[in-house]
């Protein structure tokens, strides 16, 4: 693996018909790193992940996964990668143990019984080993899927929206397990919609309409945009948001329930505009705040050039 990178890809492109769904994506993931891959639905996350693990051949571009060429060595890559999709794809009329045993057979795992028992124990599934998979809640199905991904001892996990539709407590437990695995040297590439999950990644990248708009640590991604952000509390915030748009220093207004976030790069001009606009509004409160990842990602989407077509 080049310079300790488990994933190292350059200028990946992919078309489906006349749609250019991944456009020159380059990124690197290090051993033991949890790398978050973010973007709205249709942004190209899944297509990119599939290219990086040899499941889909890029139209152009190059790279390696676990030291293997993503174009030539897809069979070797698949043997060393655990891939978890967002859809539950096991046999609902089999028990948890039977599902894991079947997956272990497919991978040709040695000491199958021992590895299945280990997976059941590590993921807290032992007490439910004889429960039918079809009767499990979303969180327990998620644990079963992760256990199956780990049976063959992969060096890299590729997780495609793994916590979609899972309750907050189960999501928290899942992420604690990912950090335990990462601390043991396992590398994880995970796509997600959730900002709280993005902040739990060691590094992250944001893709929109097939273009990688930002990557780095969450602190780096926020700092690189150079945004100042203020929060306004009060009544009739929707009207105030409309009023502020286009004013000096105001580059973005976003409503978050009972709060209005206003951001811009010219900090002095932004503050002048906001103090003037809110100074005479009764019950209106203005506070300087830290720019969040969500502020930045909304900003990046609005700044990105409009492109025809979507991605998968």
pLDDT tens for residues 247-259? 999 999 999 989 9
Residue scoring higher pLDDT (166 or 32): 32
Of 144, 194, 214, give the one whose Cα is nearest residue 204. Answer: 214
Which residue shows structure tokens 């080049």? 2
Question: Residue 122: pLDDT above 70?
Answer: yes
Other residues' Cβ atoms within 10 Å of the Cβ of residue 271 = 16
Mean pLDDT of 107-127: 92
pLDDT at 138: 85
* Percent of the chain residues topping a pLDDT of 90: 72
Can you tell me the distance from the alpha carbon of 50 to that of 196, in angstroms, rounded to the nearest whole number?
24
Can you tell me the distance from the alpha carbon of 286 to that of 19, in angstroms, rounded to the nearest whole number?
44
- The model's confidence at residue 307, banded by pLDDT at 50, 70 and 90, is very low
Mean pLDDT of 71-85: 91
Mean pLDDT of 287-297: 94
CA 310 distance to own-chain centroid:
18
Of 25-34, 79-88, 122-131, 217-226, which gets the smallest average pLDDT? Answer: 79-88
Can you tell me the distance from the alpha carbon of 277 to that of 263, in angstroms, rounded to the nearest whole number?
14
What pTM was computed for the model? Answer: 0.86
Can you tell me the distance from the alpha carbon of 190 to that of 47, in angstroms, rounded to the nearest whole number?
13
DSSP-derived 3-state class of residue 101: helix
Question: Residue 81: pLDDT above 60?
Answer: yes
Backbone angles phi, psi at 31, to 5 degrees: -60, 135
pLDDT at 107: 86
Question: Residue 273: pLDDT above 50?
Answer: yes
Residue scoring higher pLDDT (63 or 39): 63
- The model's confidence at residue 2, banded by pLDDT at 50, 70 and 90, is low
Can you tell me the distance from the alpha carbon of 163 to that of 191, in angstroms, rounded to the nearest whole number?
9
Can you tell me the distance from the alpha carbon of 129 to that of 29, in angstroms, rounded to the nearest whole number?
34
Question: Residue 311: pLDDT above 50?
Answer: no
> What domains can you pick out in the chain, each with its CATH number?
2-221 (3.40.50.300), 227-290 (3.30.70.920)
Backbone angles phi, psi at 16, to 5 degrees: -120, 105
Question: Residue 181: pLDDT above 90?
Answer: yes
Question: Residue 111: pLDDT above 70?
Answer: yes
Largest CA distance in the chain: 74
pLDDT at 306: 44
pLDDT at 305: 57
pLDDT at 309: 43
Question: Residue 118: pLDDT above 80?
Answer: yes
Q: Work out the mean pLDDT of the chain and round it to a whole number.
A: 91
Can you tell me the distance from the alpha carbon of 37 to that of 161, in angstroms, rounded to the nearest whole number?
9
The answer to whether residues 10 and 62 touch, using CB atoms and an 8 Å cutoff, is yes
Mean pLDDT of 163-192: 89
- The model's confidence at residue 195, banded by pLDDT at 50, 70 and 90, is confident
């Amino acid at each position: 693996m080049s310079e300790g990178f488990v994933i190292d890809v350059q200028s990946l492109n992919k078309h489906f018909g006349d749609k250019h769904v991944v456009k020159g994506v380059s990124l690197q993931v290090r051993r033991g790193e949890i790398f978050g891959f973010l973007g709205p639905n249709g942004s190209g996350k899944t297509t990119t992940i599939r290219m990086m693990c040899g499941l889909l051949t890029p139209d152009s571009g190059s790279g390696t996964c676990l030291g293997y060429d993503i174009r030539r060595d897809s069979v070797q890559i698949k043997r060393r990668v655990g891939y978890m999709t967002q859809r539950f794809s096991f046999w609902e009329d089999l028990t948890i143990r039977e599902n894991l045993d079947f997956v272990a057979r497919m991978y040709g795992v040695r000491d199958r019984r021992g590895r299945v028992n280990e997976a059941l124990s590590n993921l807290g599934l032992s007490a439910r080993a004889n429960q039918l998979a079809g009767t499990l809640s979303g969180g327990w199905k998620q644990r079963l899927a992760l256990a199956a991904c780990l049976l063959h001892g992969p060096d890299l996990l590729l997780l495609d929206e793994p916590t979609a539709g899972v309750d907050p407590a189960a999501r928290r437990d899942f992420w604690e397990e990912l950090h335990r695995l990462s601390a043991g040297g396992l590398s994880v590439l995970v796509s997600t919609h959730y900002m709280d999950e993005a902040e739990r990644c060691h590094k992250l990248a944001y893709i929109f309409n097939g273009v990688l708009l930002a990557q780095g640590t969450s602190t780096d991604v926020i700092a690189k945009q150079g945004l100042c952000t203020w929060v306004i509390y009060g009544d009739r915030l929707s009207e105030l948001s409309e009023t502020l748009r286009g004013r000096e220093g105001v580059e973005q207004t976003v409503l978050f329930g009972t709060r209005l976030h206003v951001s811009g790069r010219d900090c002095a001009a932004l503050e002048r505009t906001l103090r003037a606009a809110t100074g005479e509004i009764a019950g209106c409160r203005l506070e300087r705040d830290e720019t969040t990842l969500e502020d930045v990602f909304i900003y990046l989407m609005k700044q990105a050039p409009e492109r025809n077509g979507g991605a998968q």
